[in-house]
Structure 1
Amino acid sequence: MLSALSDLLWSKVLIALLVGIGIWFTFATRFVQFRYFGKMFGILTANHHEADGRHLSSFQALILSVAGRVGGGNIAGVAVAITLGGPGAIFWMWVVGLMGMATSFIECTLAQVYKTAEPDGAYRGGPAHYIERGLGSNWKWLAVIYSILLLVTFGIGFIALQSYAVATSLKDAFDIPLYYSGIGLALVVGLIIFGGVKRIAQVAEVLVPIMAGGYLLIAIVVLGLNFTEIPATLKLIVESAFGIGPVVGGGIGAAILMGVKRGLFSNEAGLGSAPNVAAVAYVPHPANQGVVQSFSVFIDTIILCTCTALIILMGTAYDPSLTDSSQGVALTQASLATHIGEWGRVFVSIAMLLFGFSTVLYNYYLGENSVSYLTTGRSNEFVMNGFRVVVICLCCLGAIMDLGTVFGFADLTMGLLALVNLIALALLFKTGKRVLGDYDRQLKSGNKVPTFHAEEFTDLNLDAESWPVADNSRKQP
């Protein structure tokens, strides 16, 4: 039953909604993801410590969201897409990634607009906050449902799944028993999560560039070794996407379905997970973080997923006649081994380990954000510490459990999570577009660092601590 409901949600309802909203937002924002593409790269050279000690910088929030987006979907997910949908699936993965950049821009901009300040000055936000503040208190029930789904999906289900992925990667690479890996992961994660979001961000700031950069570097080596084959491989991807040439995988229908589905799984645009992290950043204007978070979708789908696809398609391990979805990471490992030798298998296992570990930290923070929202106004420190203990136990148990049912349940709740978020985004799009319009106007007038003036948006039910209204009482008319 779980599988049937999940298939209905993901193969029909959500694909139509996610793609439709991505196209709508792209055109309605006048292709914001392309207009400000250059600005996305600017964050890499900006002052990474622009915030004070209580807040994350825009760069740290970007890195933390990349830690969550970049994971098994970039290695195993791409392999599954190619196996079931053929090389053309990658083209549709690109399309959904480019459209998803606009969706991510809007959801992360709204997360910044409606963020709230904690007693210690740190920020919290995300879909639950923009549903309640943006749509009004009558919609609080939907915000509560979203928070529960987020907690169950990412804070519980996906932590167990990622623990299993990390443990199996260590067993494949170094033959370490699963329960040893589970205990080790639990100890390391425990030391980090009790330090709060700042410590999580500090770890991610070191780990993510190493893991993503290392994977990108090995892909560049493979591209260099097969430089002359790149044009033909890209041509194969585009032709297969439109059914030109021999039928590979399940044909053009399967290419579109698998490309869209795996792309959405990988980059998470529209799911509402990334806005929980985007809200934490200290930025002068909400649209700044929208632009930055669009870049994380680009890193995930256009750069890293393409690297995996080229490694597979330019290798000799991929057999178009086989449509066994269980190949997954094994296909990526075997393909890399055809390029650089058997140590390529070990490299992929280590990459899966690092990607999985960073995703555990990201998933924990999403769960923490849900717990914080659901216990607002109460003494929630006891509950929060209880959740941290649960996470540590999940790291241990997830490594040795049969997670088939957990995966099916999390798949369904993630679909429902996306459905709730997309409804909210559609209803709040006018607000997101208005904030973007303010950002556009300031840049057009020559202001290189647009600033959000809360006094011009007093109708939006903003948090006064997060976006204080300027005192204009002394100004002459």
Structure 2
Amino acid sequence: MESIADWLATWGDNLWTWIVLPVVAVLGVYLTVRSGVVQIRLIPEMFRTLTDKTPRDADGRPQSVSSFQAFTMSAASRVGTGNIAGVATAIAIGGPGAVFWMWLMAAIGAASAFAESSLAQLFKVRDSDGFRGGPAYYMARGLNARWMGVVFAVILIFCFPFAFSALQANTIALTSATAIETLSGIDASWLPFVIGLATAGLTALVVFGGVRRIADVTQVLVPVMALAYLLLGLGVVAVNIEQLPGAFVSIYTDAFGFNEVLGAALGQIILTGAKRGMFSNEAGLGSAPNAGAAAAVTHPVKQGLVQSLGVYFDTMIVCSITAFLVLVAVPIEQGGPSGIELTQLALETSLGSWTSIALAVVVFMLAFSSIIGNYYYGEASIEFISSRRWVLMVFRVLVVLAVLAGSVASAAVVWNAADAVMGVMALINLVAVALLSGLVFRLLRDYTRQRRDGLDPVFTRDLMPDVKGIACWEDADTVTGPIDLSTRRRQSAKHRDHLHGTRAAEPRR
């Protein structure tokens, strides 16, 4: 079994190093250039659209989850124990320079996140809870390749709601058991099973409540966990404030091999940082668009911008917290601690042993939120494959059982297999995004034109009459929901003028 795990790890590492990451980088640069650096140019728009009012239906109820709730659902999956353990491991292997390449990967990847989530919005469909969509949907409806969407959906279901959620549950069980044993002084081998039962029970309470309950949980849990971890990190930095300038210098000097740490070659530093950035923020993987498609917004570009902001939130804030608390607090040594042990050492060295309990609480929030986010990605994929209610119920039961099993199992083979297969999933998504990128640029031009005209952008499928497969976006009334008559007349007139101008300006595809 160990040899299988090693083979899978080697195969997966080679796939990511020599195929996936170069494709991600090239496509990210292409999208960045063609979009006019949308991921930086429209940062103010990201914050503006994050707080947009949610369009309502004829009964006055939200059409689906809000833009902010969709943001927190994707952040819940993105921000997991990898932000604590993975970043510390990247620094231990590649030195401080890996952090620079992690940041750069986020800046490039934010363009891919914008593209994939805009496409997910464009080709989303309605369900009983509001909207659903994602890469499988834009493959089927945008490329007319349902087989491609099914392959993608099956891989995603294996990777995220089953394998990765089981591993997050394993981390919860281990860290919580350690914290309890530290407090009580007992050595109880049964603790992981009990903790697993509790985690599985909490998971069941959330996932059987549907997408709106998931959104309600994540919109509270994600800001709380981010704030808690930010406070811990700031506490460490404050205690070691004199080391902060040196940490910044080491990040930039080591990034280009001028002062390589631990003998890491420049190529290893770049690859370590880039891979950690990709694994952490998931830009281009095709996972986050499943959450982005659930939002009720008035233009696809709005949620594309919000999901780009999610990449920055994950990498520039949460991952950077880990990077700085490690770099200012403990020396990086060859053969020394790495992963979550390195993060824990930095906390205990600076703030005391009580931080083992605090870290266990933070890890629980991070990991549990990832389980919830991973589940929703799987639900959107299950509903793409089959609309039968019993299939979804069986899926929910299996997810809860996977959480329980993951709490007590050693999952090296599952982890390595999921890692490798996720690379295939990323490649399938990136091919689809590249083929549909022309639609992304058309959406972006329409959005910026409406903003320039002083409008709150509204998209309807009349703006792209040549594009088949758009299920929603029927008309302005449907998209924006009921508002007062005078506002409706004013917006309709502006939108009609805009529509006529767009038809004249846009060539048919």
Q: Quick one: which of 440, 462, 466 aligns to 1:459?
A: 466
Distance 1:291-1:246 versus aligned 2 partners, 3 A rule = closer
Residue 71 of structure 2 is aligned to residue 62 of structure 1:
yes
Could you state the TM-score of these two structures normalised by the residue count of structure 1? 0.93
Q: Quick one: which of 85, 110, 118 aligns to 1:76?
A: 85
> Residues 49 and 302 of structure 2 are in contact (CA less than 8 Å); yes or no, is this contact kept in structure 1?
no
How far 1:178 sits from its partner (Å)? 0.5
Distance 1:338-1:249 versus aligned 2 partners, 3 A rule = farther
Equivalent position of 2:334 in the other structure = 321
Deviations 1:13-69 (A, max 9, x none): 011011111111111111101111112223455447878334000010011111111
Equivalent position of 2:421 in the other structure = 413
SS of the equivalent of 1:399 reads helix
Q: Equivalents in 2 of 1:69, 1:173: separation in Å?
A: 25
> Residues 55 and 122 of structure 1 are in contact (CA less than 8 Å); yes or no, is this contact kept in structure 2?
yes
Q: Quick one: which of 324, 331, 348 aligns to 2:342?
A: 331
Equivalent position of 1:434 in the other structure = 442
Q: Equivalents in 2 of 1:280, 1:263: separation in Å?
A: 25
Deviations 1:144-202 (A, max 9, x none): 10011011111211121111111112112113710001111111111111110100110
How many correspondences in the alignment? 464
> Residues 111 and 275 of structure 1 are in contact (CA less than 8 Å); yes or no, is this contact kept in structure 2?
yes
Q: Quick one: which of 430, 442, 454 aligns to 1:446?
A: 454
Equivalent position of 1:146 in the other structure = 152
Distance 1:8-1:323 versus aligned 2 partners, 3 A rule = farther
Q: Equivalents in 1 of 2:173, 2:192: separation in Å?
A: 5
Distance 1:67-1:470 versus aligned 2 partners, 3 A rule = closer
Distance 1:162-1:121 versus aligned 2 partners, 3 A rule = closer
Equivalent position of 1:369 in the other structure = 380
Equivalent position of 2:120 in the other structure = 111
Residue 220 of structure 2 is aligned to residue 214 of structure 1:
no
Equivalent position of 1:267 in the other structure = 281
Q: State the identity %.
A: 39
Residue 139 of structure 2 is aligned to residue 126 of structure 1:
no
Could you state the TM-score of these two structures normalised by the residue count of structure 2? 0.87
**Counterpart of 1:200 in structure 2: which amino acid?**
I
**Counterpart of 1:405 in structure 2: which amino acid?**
V
Equivalent position of 1:357 in the other structure = 368
Q: Quick one: which of 15, 25, 35 aligns to 1:19?
A: 25
5+ long unaligned stretches in structure 2: 1-6, 182-187, 478-491, 501-509
Deviations 1:246-305 (A, max 9, x none): 543513221101000011000000000000000000001000001101111001001111
SS of the equivalent of 2:231 reads helix
**Counterpart of 2:75 in structure 1: which amino acid?**
V
Equivalent position of 2:315 in the other structure = 301
Residue 304 of structure 2 is aligned to residue 290 of structure 1:
yes
> Residues 86 and 251 of structure 1 are in contact (CA less than 8 Å); yes or no, is this contact kept in structure 2?
no
5+ long unaligned stretches in structure 1: none
Distance 1:208-1:371 versus aligned 2 partners, 3 A rule = same
Q: Equivalents in 2 of 1:104, 1:189: separation in Å?
A: 27
SS of the equivalent of 2:309 reads helix
SS of the equivalent of 2:360 reads helix
How far 1:222 sits from its partner (Å)? 2.5
Deviations 1:193-219 (A, max 9, x none): 111010011011111111011111222
Q: Equivalents in 2 of 1:2, 1:303: separation in Å?
A: 32
- Alpha-carbon RMSD across the aligned residues, in angstroms, is 2.0
